[in-house]
Amino acid sequence: MAAAIDGVLPATLQELVKKSKVLVVGAGGIGCEVLKNLVLSGFTDIEIIDLDTIDLSNLNRQFLFHREHVGKSKARVARESALSFNPDANITAYHDSVTSTDYGVNFFKKFDVVLSALDNRAARNHVNRMCLNADVPLIESGTSGYNGQVELIKRGLTQCYECTPKEKQRSFPGCTIRNTPSEPIHCIVWAKHLFNQLFGESVEDEDISPDAADPEAQEAAAEAKDTGSAGDAPEGLNEKESEPATANGNVVRINTRQWAKDCNYDAGKLFNKFFNEDINYLLRMSNLWKSRKAPVPVQWDTLLIDGAGSKGPELARQTHKIWTLEECAHVFANALKELSAAFLKLEGNDTLVWDKDDQPAMDFVAACANVRSHIFDIERKSRFEIKSMAGNIIPAIATTNAITAGISVLRAFSVLQAKWEQCKAVYARLRLNGRNQFLVPDAFFPAPNPNCYVCASDPAITLRIDTKRVQIKAFRDEVLIKTLNMVNPDVTVESTGSILISSEEGETECNEQKLLSDMNIVDGVILKCDDFFQSYELSIIISHFDAERDDVLFEVIADKNQLQPKDEKPVEPEAEPSSRKRAANGNDATDDGPSTSKRSRLTEVEDDDDDCLVVEDDDDVEEQVQESVEDTVAAATNKLTVDCPQKTATKRKPSKTLDDEDVEDITEILDSSDEEVGPTKCKRTKLEETRAGEVINID
Amino acid sequence: MKMDVEESAKETGVELTDAENELYDRQIRLWGLESQKRLRTANILISGLNGLGAEITKNIILSGVNLVKLHDDKLVTEEDFCSQFLAARESLGNNRAEASLTRARALNPMVDISADTQPLSEKTADFFGQFDVVVINGASNEELLRIDTICRELGIKFFATDVWGMFGFHYAGLQKHCYVENVIKYKVISKPNEKVKYETVSTPVQREVEYPSYSNWLDFNINAPNYQRKLKRDGPGIILLRVLQNFRSTYKRDPSYKTREADIALLEQIRDELVPNSALSSDTLGLLFAQISPAVAVVGGVVAQEIIKVVTKMEAPHRNLFIFNPETCMGYVEQIGVN
């Protein structure tokens, strides 16, 4: 209530604080701190929105919440607690999603400044668009571990949140998950899919059975035919097997869920099915194992001679121990028992929902992932570690949140006074930079990206997409909604004006299952997309490519210059990025020499020949990579992520067409819903460098 | 090396309960189980329950230490409501440490929290000796020097810290401090004729560092010719700290919002005497009244993070003078008396 006491704040600031109307988006780790700072500073007109409820694991940092509040609305409890600090404040709390159509541009226009404290990119993108449209200054913040970031987004002055491309969520091709896992995360994703197959909402592209349509195995079949040898190609296999492959290659297991139920969830039968029979099936696709180590099936009876017994619950509590194979089997049996009991109690078509904080669900995934890891000779992990990976947990701590929220509200002071020069982005770090700083303001405002597909006038993107394998529904859900963050898009074909996708329910339902190419959406076609709610229009230029085995099926290219072949237009880092790098990292000018030469090494790392698109979501990883490349001492505690060096899609050789009808299933690890997801644009410059290095070859 | 870390943590003889594992899950994922066990045994003194004291207290209690002693002989004033959120409105006129107890305990019922209202000047080595870390807010330089000396003799980690308005600092007196830092390097894992692939390798490295005594700051000459280039680069924050500490020792109080204009004039006078023609503007001197919540949150967050580093013996604590500039939001570390 500083503004309520004359003489505490300078008079102009005091008046502005008293009369300003502020929106806080998110009442989590940063939001709680922001709200406290606002009421104590003397803001009296505050609205706060959050759709989440309070969880026990929030209480170590979201200090407006206590044990008795678990399960209640974050926004409402935050309001109550903040009012006890300053009863004179007026706070309106919304227990709701900020992307709901109730909060349109007119809602945002009411505010003098918006402070966002969100935990996921989709909502951040949305709030960015709303604030740009409403022309309200937005102070965007994020933390991840010891790292924090605050930046101002103001139309016409700064970059918008979407001016720089964000690293995509890490995703994996279906055949890696189903046939050829090579990392613990592959087995963890598979185990989550197995959970869903048995108890969860059944998703078609989460099949866990061997994928007989794996192009690599098929190539082998073709080769085998050519050379006249009998081979042991999947086709031959299918005839012998009682489970024939369908046209899309999925082995028909007449409803895994029903089969498991008919077996009375017999632990031994299920275990043998998933970890013995299916593995034997995979072994017969011998081409897969020519250059890989072949999996070794395991058998229930040899593992647990005396059956499962009752050790499971006790073992499951040893979360930091790496369970032996036998221990995994015990935990599996116990989790299966609990989950099946819970599942059978459900009514109608209800299903269980996998949750990292649900004991048996997490036990099940940890046990199954480790058994599969054992089979494929992949390192096994403790339940604690698996929870981090399966739940995509980005650790958050009270101190970083407090520091970040403090900077956020100090920036709000500057915004209200229109002291724009004082509003440069600030980064909080664990370790000192070359100038002995760890709270590091940027040296200047990076200019808005003229090709930004959100804040540029007449925004357009190029979409590389396999039009022969992507259906209209997937185009809407995966590309427009999940990737381009629209809420309710309308799409028309520019040349003909025909409606491809309508935001009116049911109007274009008949198109949904058709492939883009069936609808004549082929190379060169321009689509006009319009999201009325976001007041957002975007042109999409389709660029067809034939996806290979491990390719993802589409990629958004925001800057069309990127499509230029390498030798026609060599991409060179401009002078600016290096100075920007200095701004972001606060390094001394003298540091630039060595790090420039080392940066080329970084590019090589990113040009990893691994041809599936594996990009980290977490900016921490970037930080890690950069720091390590510069041979500096990097953050100590990000062990959870350091073993996944950043990789970027680089394989761009369109080659032969696959006649596969099925849309290749790409598995995404979704945002965790309860964590502050990381500094949003930590390394602006770093990203640009990445782009510069990421040269795309088009034959 | 990693084994050493684990071994020494075992010496604490602490095992976390299921409830603790659950509550501290997210932070354990950041700093590890051993660090959490060390926090579990730490006893912390927070002296001076102003807004900054409240922020540090909040963060430290949330982190899951063993014991926090709230110490203050001052009473809650109207000014405290600018940032001291642990004291309720109704507690106006009551002792600040006692007024903070209820809300402090609600933050984390697993931490032992109590209050002490005896004046700081009466506190001797016996008292400070009960703690692993001692944090002193808002004390005079004479008092800080006395306590730093006691802490040096007893091997207790000492922090002096303050916020005036939006400006803040902390001074770390950690004597000889050992910690572990993970050094991460890239290792080539590809074969010679393949495309180059890397793997990150993280090695814990044990380090030992000396922290000079508080007297080094009192003796530090900001007008020294060889310091001027640095002073120009890092801005007038360090001059501001000098001016404010000088004001406190001259007038036996801090600048007050009740006499705002007069006190700004006094500050200007001290500034011009200490460092003629400094870059410290009179506008900045207008930001030094009471304790402004967001700035206190930044400094309190930094100090608490330093305490966590010290207790867990993970990562390098700042050596040794931290200064926060509220206008740029730059936070940097000045090495005072470090060779």
Positions in chain B whose pLDDT score sits under 70? 1-12
Asked if A60 lies within 8 A of B27 by C-beta distance, the reply is yes
Question: What pLDDT score does A222 carry?
Answer: 52
Which of B184, B227, B254, B303 is the mutation pick for testing A, counting most A CBs within 10 A?
B184
Asked if B183 lies within 8 A of A440 by C-beta distance, the reply is no
Of A651 and A329, the one with more pLDDT: A329
Q: Would you say A217 is a known binding-site residue? A: no
**Residue A368 is among the residues annotated as catalytic for this protein:** no
Interface membership of A443 toward B (CB under 8 Å): no
Give CA separation, A631 vs A29, A258, A306, A619, in Å: 32, 55, 53, 18
Of A210 and A656, the one with more pLDDT: A210
Task: Write the burial class of residue A656 (CB in 10 Å: 0-12 exposed, 13-18 middle, 19+ buried).
Answer: exposed
A682 sits in which H/E element: none
Percent of chain A clearing pLDDT 70 (strictly above): 73
Contacts of A616 in chain B (CB under 8 A): none
State whether A228 and A363 are in the same domain.
yes
Which of B208, B182, B204, B200 lies closest to B4 in space, CA to CA? B204
B120: phi then psi, degrees, rounded to nearest 5: -60, -35
Tokens of A612: 């599936």
Contacts of B298 in chain A (CB under 8 A): 402-403, 406-407, 410, 439
**b/e per residue A287-316 (b: at least 16 CB within 10 A):** bbeeeeeebebbebeebbeeebeebbeebb
Asked if A604 lies within 8 A of B304 by C-beta distance, the reply is no
Q: Look up the domain containing A526 and give its range.
A: 467-544
Q: Would you say A163 is a known binding-site residue? A: yes
Distance in angstroms (rounded) separating the CA atoms of residues A552 and A172: 8
Q: What is the DSSP letter of B72?
A: -
CA distance A43 to chain B (A): 11
Question: Which residue among B26, B186, B301 sits closest to A402, beta carbon to beta carbon?
Answer: B301
Contacts of A413 in chain B (CB under 8 A): 294
Query: What part of A 631-650 touches B (C-beta under 8 Å)?
Result: 631, 633-640, 642-643, 645
Question: What pLDDT score does B193 carry?
Answer: 77
Question: What pLDDT score does B11 carry?
Answer: 55
Asked if A9 lies within 8 A of B289 by C-beta distance, the reply is yes
Chain B residue with minimum CA distance to A320: B33
State whether A205 and A299 are in the same domain.
yes
Asked if A437 lies within 8 A of B332 by C-beta distance, the reply is yes
Question: Which residue among B63, B186, B327 sits closest to A629, beta carbon to beta carbon?
Answer: B186
| pLDDT one-digit tens code per residue, A320-364 | 899 999 999 999 999 999 999 999 999 888 899 998 988 999 999
| pLDDT one-digit tens code per residue, A23-77 | 999 999 999 999 999 999 999 999 999 999 999 989 999 999 999 999 999 999 9
Does residue A557 form part of some domain?
no
State whether A373 and A399 are in the same domain.
no
Which of A93, A88, A75 lies closest to A43 in space, CA to CA? A88
Question: What pLDDT score does A169 carry?
Answer: 67
Distance in angstroms (rounded) separating the CA atoms of residues A581 and A688: 10
Cα three-residue angle A301-A305-A306, rounded to 5 degrees? 125
pLDDT category at A485 given cuts 50, 70, 90 is confident
Interface membership of A629 toward B (CB under 8 Å): yes
Task: Output the CA torsion sign for A532, A533, A536, A542.
Answer: negative
A390 in Cβ contact with A88 (< 8 Å): no
Helix axis angle for A359-375 and A184-198, nearest 10°, is: 130
Which of A303, A241, A244 lies closest to A271 in space, CA to CA? A303
Contacts of B33 in chain A (CB under 8 A): 320
pLDDT category at A639 given cuts 50, 70, 90 is very low
Question: What pLDDT score does B27 carry?
Answer: 95
Q: Would you say A334 is a known binding-site residue? A: no
Average pLDDT, chain A: 78
Query: What part of A 74-133 touches B (C-beta under 8 Å)?
Result: 84-87
Q: Does domain B2-176+292-334 have CATH number 3.40.50.720?
A: yes
Q: Would you say A636 is a known binding-site residue? A: no
Complete DSSP assignment for A251-302: B--S-HHHHHHHTTT-HHHHHHIIIIIHHHHHHHSGGGGSSSPPP----HHH
Chain A residue with minimum CA distance to B301: A399
Q: Would you say A31 is a known binding-site residue? A: yes
Which of A653, A648, A683, A692 lies closest to A559 in space, CA to CA? A692
**Where would I find the H helices in A156-262?**
174-178, 184-198, 215-226, 234-240, 256-262
pLDDT category at A186 given cuts 50, 70, 90 is very high
Question: Which residue among B29, B78, B89 sits closest to A395, beta carbon to beta carbon?
Answer: B29
State whether A159 and A190 are in the same domain.
no
Q: Would you say A60 is a known binding-site residue? A: yes
Whether the pLDDT of residue A605 is over 50: the answer is no
Relative to beta strand A526-531, strand A437-441 is unpaired
Contacts of A386 in chain B (CB under 8 A): none
Query: What part of A 555-594 touches B (C-beta under 8 Å)?
Result: none
Which residues, including other chains, have CB under 8 Å from residue A113's CB and lie 6 or more apart? A20, A22, A23, A136, A137, A138, A139, A412, A415, A416
Task: Write the burial class of residue A443 (CB in 10 Å: 0-12 exposed, 13-18 middle, 19+ buried).
Answer: middle
Least confident of A607-611, A661-665, A682-686, B30-34: A607-611
Which of A38, A62, A386, A403 is the mutation pick for testing B, counting most B CBs within 10 A?
A403
Distance in angstroms (rounded) separating the CA atoms of residues B57 and B70: 8
Does residue A458 form part of some domain?
no
Distance in angstroms (rounded) separating the CA atoms of residues A91 and A79: 6
Residues A488-500, mean pLDDT to the nearest whole number: 90
Chain A residue with minimum CA distance to B164: A8
CATH code of A56's domain: 3.40.50.720
Question: Which residue among B106, B233, B328 sits closest to A66, beta carbon to beta carbon?
Answer: B106
Cα three-residue angle A565-A619-B315, rounded to 5 degrees? 140
- Position B158: which residue type? F
Q: Would you say A311 is a known binding-site residue? A: no
Question: What pLDDT score does B156 carry?
Answer: 97
CB-CB neighbours of B104 under 10 Å: 25
B299 in Cβ contact with B326 (< 8 Å): no
Give CA separation, A412 vs A405, A422, A678, B17, B338, in Å: 10, 10, 21, 41, 37
Least confident of A191-195, A518-522, A644-648, B319-323: A644-648
Chain B residue with minimum CA distance to A87: B89
Question: What pLDDT score does B128 carry?
Answer: 98
Which of B166, B168, B290, B266 lies closest to A8 in space, CA to CA? B290
**Count: domains in chain A:** 4
Q: Would you say A104 is a known binding-site residue? A: no
Asked if A624 lies within 8 A of B200 by C-beta distance, the reply is yes
Contacts of A320 in chain B (CB under 8 A): 33
Whether the pLDDT of residue A646 is over 50: the answer is no
Complete DSSP assignment for A409-422: HHHHHHHHTT-GGG
B66 in Cβ contact with B108 (< 8 Å): no
Least confident of A297-311, A375-389, A452-466: A297-311
Asked if A63 lies within 8 A of B82 by C-beta distance, the reply is no
Which of A58, A83, A637 is the mutation pick for testing B, counting most B CBs within 10 A?
A637
State whether A610 and A646 are in the same domain.
yes
Q: Which residues pair with residue A668 across a beta bridge?
A: A171
Residues A537-563, mean pLDDT to the nearest whole number: 78
CATH code of A486's domain: 3.10.290.20
Does residue A371 form part of some domain?
yes
Query: What part of A 150-169 touches B (C-beta under 8 Å)?
Result: 150
B294 in Cβ contact with A410 (< 8 Å): yes
Q: Would you say A121 is a known binding-site residue? A: yes
Interface membership of A624 toward B (CB under 8 Å): yes
Tokens of A163: 């001016």
Residues A259-265, mean pLDDT to the nearest whole number: 92
Percent of chain A clearing pLDDT 90 (strictly above): 51
pLDDT category at A307 given cuts 50, 70, 90 is low
Asked if A398 lies within 8 A of B182 by C-beta distance, the reply is no
A139 sits in which H/E element: strand A138-144
Question: Which residue among A7, A60, A439 sits closest to B24, beta carbon to beta carbon?
Answer: A60
Whether the pLDDT of residue A265 is over 70: the answer is yes
Q: Domain residue spans in chain B?
A: 2-176+292-334, 177-208, 224-285
Question: What pLDDT score does A561 carry?
Answer: 53
Cα three-residue angle B109-A41-A403, rounded to 5 degrees? 60
Candidates A175, A328, A529, A612; catalytic one: A175
Which residues, including other chains, have CB under 8 Å from residue B149's CB and lie 6 or more apart? B213
Chain A residue with minimum CA distance to B262: A7
Whether the pLDDT of residue A234 is over 70: the answer is no
Interface membership of A604 toward B (CB under 8 Å): yes
Asked if A397 lies within 8 A of B26 by C-beta distance, the reply is yes
Q: Would you say A50 is a known binding-site residue? A: yes
Question: What pLDDT score does A459 carry?
Answer: 87
Least confident of A13-22, A395-404, B8-17, B38-47: B8-17
Q: How many residues does chain B have?
A: 339
pLDDT category at A457 given cuts 50, 70, 90 is confident
A35 in Cβ contact with A48 (< 8 Å): yes
Question: What pLDDT score does A219 carry?
Answer: 59
Give CA separation, B286 vs B140, B245, B265, in Å: 22, 16, 10
Least confident of A446-460, A471-485, A659-673: A659-673
The residue whose two tokens read 């597909």 is: A453
Interface membership of A336 toward B (CB under 8 Å): no
Whether the pLDDT of residue A521 is over 70: the answer is yes
State whether A160 and A189 are in the same domain.
no
State whether A409 and A343 are in the same domain.
no
Question: What pLDDT score does A166 carry?
Answer: 74
